Amino acid sequence: MVKWLISSLASNLLLGLAVAAPVEEHKRAANSPATVAAHQVLSLSRQLSPRPGLTLGSKFRNLRAFATAADPQPAGLDIALPAYQQVEYLLNVTAGGNNYSLIIDTGSSDTWFVKSGFQCYDYRRRPVALANCQFGPEFKGDFPGGAIKDLQFNVSYGNGYSGPNLNGEYGYADLTLAGITVPKQQIALATSGYWTGDDISTGILGLGMPGLTEAYNSSQATLNSYGNTISYSPVVTTMTTALKLPSLFSLGLSRTPADSFLALGGVPANVMTGEYTTTPLLTWESSKGGPEYFWYTIQTDQMVWNSSTISQQTARSPKAIVDSGTTLNYLPTQIADAINNAFVPRAVYDPDVGGYVTSCNATAPAFGIKIGGQMIWTEPSNMILPQLKNRQGKCLTGITDTSEEPYILGDTFMQGLVAVFDIGKLEMRFAKRV
């Protein structure tokens, strides 16, 4: 479903969707939410250069702090660092007594680290030097909490045929982030695969739900498909069952490094927002039978740019995944073409980078998505990624296309918002930061 951006320029743009079978083949309330302060807050690292995001408008009324005096205060807060070519957000995680940088990904559920001795392959599955995979520091040693026998890690990202893919093993480790320790969390150590990294991150922190975990019985490796997956408790589930935290987390992505955060159990007390909009999470039909929650999938009501409007209120209304592991918004081809045509000068599709490019000084159109009856606007000046250029020096835009559901609302959409992933209520809430 998702086009993996295979060029060296854009190879890190899409990490969020784990791939496996049918929908899984690609694996494959109220306007103002109850005020719950975060139990734990982790500011996100953003690598290298400032990343364009959503600037905050001043037109919102009824501004409010998310937390009240009665709410518990965050127990931990880290300083955010700059982002790699504007395409990903990192955070610090401690495992086995060592600190690592992981990519925060709401579009997958496995938390994994590259293991010392990793065998790197190119996209044709030919062995190459480890440096070609561009990992950060490798995980030292084996699983601190012991290995899990006969369980195999096998995951693909983006395009399952030519995109990054990893194999490895499962075991247990205590994970520490934002001052708390998630005990005996099942993690994977990647031992081989094709990857295009950033020379900083060691792996991914998967914040998706159990339906996206990618564990298989190692005695049936040739049968690896979604129907044969063995679900387990990912981080978002373990933190609730083991630590009794509220079953939600919030994510704030920002152009300003110190303002980006991940909060476990709520939203930081000092985050000011406009009015929240609420929308339910949607299920997908599972190949195992019946509906199941996989990604954080929501319904969009409308998409608006300049004076054009396309209503999504139909029986075939497209679903969209809220995915921090994907840089761009992946929208229906008709809409993506129209939005990119509205840039001045017009943005054109460049197959070499897998996206639309335009002059780095172009004027972007006004663009908004209505969710839960409320319009969420993306600041036009932030719809151009000046650090991502093609060979002709044109800049990538924040909107690209895909012909298949589910569509993706990535970092281009999320920047400048507080996104609350409320697993307990099976809903999402969004508000502009002010």
- Residues annotated as catalytic (active site), given as ranges: 105, 323
Q: Other CB atoms closer than 10 Å to residue 148's CB: what's the count?
A: 20
Q: Give how far Cα 404 sits from Cα of 103, 145, 320, 331, 378, Å.
A: 25, 41, 11, 9, 23
Phi-psi region of 141 (alpha: psi -120 to 50; beta: other; left: phi over 0): left
Do the beta carbons of residue 248 and residue 29 sit within 8 Å? no
- CA-based R_g, the chain, Å: 20
